[in-house]
Amino acid sequence: MGVKLQELIVRNKIEFSELAGTIFKYIFNTIGTLFLVLGTTGFIINVLKVFGK
C-alpha cells in the first residue's frame, strides 16, 4: 500500500512539474509577445512623431 502511494506521489510530482513548465512557458511567451507589441507600438509612435514635425 505504501509503495503504491509513493508511486502515485512521484507520478503526480512529474505531472505537476510538466504542468508548471507549460504554464511558465505560456506566461513567458505572453510577456514576450506583450513587450514585442509595446516595443513595436512605441517605435511606430516615435516614427510618426518624427514625420509629424
Residue with cell 509629424: 52
Query: What tens digit of pLDDT does each residue of 1-48 get?
Result: 678 888 988 888 988 899 999 999 999 999 999 999 999 999 999 999
Distances (CA, A) of 18 to 5, 14, 21, 22, 34: 20, 6, 5, 6, 24
Could you give the number of structural domains in the chain?
1
Distances (CA, A) of 31 to 10, 25, 27, 34, 43: 31, 10, 6, 5, 18
pLDDT of 14: 84
Domain span holding position 40: 1-53
pLDDT of 48: 94
pLDDT of 32: 96
